[in-house]
Structure 1
Amino acid sequence: MKRSIREAYGEALVKIGSEEPRLVVLDADVSNSTRTIHFAEKFPERFFNIGIAEANMMGISAGLALLGKIPVVNTFSFLTTLRCGDQVRTSIAYPRLNVKIAGAYGGLSDSYDGPTHHSITDIAIMRSIPNMNVMVVGAPDEVEDILRIAVKIDGPVFIRLSRGEAYPIKELIPEAPPVEFGRGRILKEGGDITIVVTGTLTGRVLEASSILERDGISARVIEIHTIKPIDKDLILESALKTGAIVTVEEHNVIGGLGSAVAEVLSKEYPVPVEMIGIKDTFAESGDYEALLDKYGLGIYNILDKAKIALKRKRGE
């Protein structure tokens, strides 16, 4: 059954914090939303509510990192990249400080708060900053693994989180490989086309792949949770194997997963690539699932793009 990603995140913070005394948590007065409230209750002396002063929070986290702490900074994802862009770049990434930035409510998941709170450019911004590592949580059972990886990395890491719920990957694919930094994982094998997904749309992609299979189309499904550094070897191996790729992301089609995949292929092994994402537009307020469908992230969109990519592959 589906489970809250933010609840899994709050629990993982407490668990890892109990093992790593250097870990400290900063929040911008949204601890109920980010679920860092659990850490605050367990370790009040290691929790800092900076208030609605997100840019200052980034600067404070840099200072804590210089003191040998491992700061995990929390606020809404659009704020981490847009309001705090200068501080993230100059105070954290440039000196390569050991700060972990958790961007909550990524994509359209803050659905009813509308375009001011939707975060559809965060991946593009963060992956363009030198020294920054970028990871995306796609399911509740990935949260602890990704957070542990981030804490072990000596340097800045951006973690994109969703507000919503998702099926655990192990529930959908019991034999799924483990989460590894810089490595995508093959969730389903296929030889006709590759569908590359990041974030919580994995369930929709797997459902679409089953429909394609009934139509006689064999789709390989790859989940990418490390956007930077991206798994070039797996992308190239998939291009060689299937000859056509569809990328799926809850992000602007400009600068995100699709762009990262296309950058790899254009240099090494060009094949037809179709990108599914938000088409460079602001979305309206509304129900989350309805917004995904309205802005081109539905199962039928995946099916259509897969068939277009196959036609291009065949020269039709």
Structure 2
Amino acid sequence: MITQTSKKPEIHIKKGQIIKGKWHRHRYHIVKKLGNGAIGSVYLCVNGNKQVALKLSKQSASISSEVNVLKAFQAVQGYHLGPSLIDVDDYEATNGFQYSFYVMEYISGDTLHDFIRQNGHEWLVSLLIGFAKDLQVLHKEGYVFGDLKIENLIVSRKPAKLKWVDVGGTTLQGRAIKEYTEFYDRAYWQCGSRKADPGYDLFALAMVIVRIYYPNGFSRGNNPKKTLQLKINQAVDVDPLRRLLLMLIHGSIKDAEQVKDFLLTYFIHQKNKRDQRSASHKRSKKQDSVYPLLEVGSILTIGGVCYLYVTLFM
């Protein structure tokens, strides 16, 4: 069996194929490819009657590194960071090479783009508050997500919650970010270094929100920071969200807790305004049901309020 990474060809797994672990002998039936990463591909599989996600790579050291990150996440008491780790093994391919893989919890849901398109921008604040809480815990554990981008996020169901599904770029704080995507990269926009610190993730989070408004992205131009400011001011019509994005790209906000507190303050303010206005329209049930939709600048829906209640108080 040949195992040298440098000599291994990329492996192509087909729908319907069986991946059988060399050591644990578990069998995983390939349903479809979920995506490609810098070090491997992720597949939706079935093991028994359970859907799981399997990441396969020719780079065994990188797989081991990601497994260690998932194990560290599981060690965080009372908190669920990222998908749960299920299995780690090797696969002996028909080409004579051995490939490493790990199996993790499959988180079903919608892409952030699809969720916002179906439910409206009103949900952004509630999703971001919950996600900022997760980032805060991650950073306290000494890690930076690193390759934080819209493709690595999913909105799970019941309740709706923004989650990360690929830990490939996760890096210990203080080290250099090695896996990144230019559009979300602080250094690419000349807004800071590529050092793994909480601010790197916060900048990327701002770019995730920007990507919602610009699905096809945009070039950075001759003055990247000025380009970002211009694009944010042009597209984001909710003043508090626009101010938050500008603070994030300028590095004015230093940790995820500040993001959560900023958005929560806005949420409480909007809720108080809505309660006051609702009280003055009790005579018309029809007006009560329609009025929140007429509130200029509001980005909260009834669904969003319910989600916030579950996230913050239950």
With structure 2 as the length reference, what TM-score do the two structures score? 0.29
With structure 1 as the length reference, what TM-score do the two structures score? 0.28
Structure number with greater CO (CA < 8 Å, separation at least 6) is 1
